[in-house]
Chain A
Amino acid sequence: ETGVTQTPRHLVMGMTNKKSLKCEQHLGHNAMYWYKQSAKKPLELMFVYNFKEQTENNSVPSRFSPECPNSSHLFLHLHTLQPEDSALYLCASSQANPGQGYNEQFFGPGTRLTVL
């Protein structure tokens, strides 16, 4: 595997289900991100992890719960979602340099989520 991989690629779930999205990066980066992409809207940054520590949480509802067990793996745990949460969820990774910020991000193919 190379780059950033995401599973599953497609997910359909009911509002009472619990599911998890998985992301793995093979680039040796130290920062990972979750984004939400909805039609006609800019990518919405949800969470940022730097060296496994969560550094940003952009007012995301608690029904989305991230987990970063190491610098290569990132999960997004989902529970009691709403239909408006249907979107493409993208994972990305980049190299973070102390004092210089984050370099360009490399994205996975995304998980297309549909909430019924």
Chain B
Amino acid sequence: EDQVTQSPEALRLQEGESSSLNCSYTVSGLRGLFWYRQDPGKGPEFLFTLYSAGEEKEKERLKATLTKKESFLHITAPKPEDSATYLCAVRSDQFYFGTGTSLTVIP
């Protein structure tokens, strides 16, 4: 059964304390892995697409990496404005979303 699991469910960081979020997946025929950021009361905002193992993408303090079984979203020196829920999704025959990691960055 295709599925996506994100961990941890919630993460609290001090400002400047780097960490990583995990997205593990079991799908047959991966056709893309996507990271989104979602603020309360808003729709998900697209961050990255990764297509093959070994691929990396960066945007400001965020860096996404992909292996054959999981993806990591690394957050370097986070700021309070990085607080949000981060969603991972994979595309095989259809889109599958994880439940997200709620990130809180404390000043």
Contact = CB atoms under 8 A, between A and B. Distances in A.
Q: Are A and B physically bound partners?
A: yes
Interface of A: 4, 6, 33, 40-43, 45, 48, 56, 58, 90, 92, 100-110, 112
Contacts of A105: 34, 46, 95
Nearest to A101: B31
Contacts of A101: 31-32, 91
B46 A45 contact: no
Contacts of A40: 99
Contacts, number: 51
Contacts of B31: 100-101
Contacts of B4: 42
Contacts of A107: 36, 43-46
A109 B42 contact: yes
A45 B94 contact: yes
Decide if the interface of chain B is mainly helix, strand, loop or mixed: strand
Contacts of A42: 4, 96-99
Nearest to B96: A42
14 contacts: A40-B99, A41-B99, A42-B4, A43-B87, A45-B95, A101-B31, A101-B32, A103-B32, A104-B32, A104-B34, A105-B34, A105-B46, A110-B42, A112-B41
Interface of B: 4, 31-32, 34, 36, 41-46, 49, 87, 89, 91, 94-99
Contact of B43 (A45, A58, A90): A90
Contacts of A109: 41-43
Contact of A56 (B44, B94, B97, B98): B94
Nearest to B87: A43
A102 B43 contact: no
A87 to B, nearest CB: 13
Contacts of A92: 43
Contacts of B89: 43
Given A105-B46, A107-B43, A109-B41, 6 more contacts: A40-B99, A42-B99, A90-B43, A92-B43, A104-B32, A104-B46
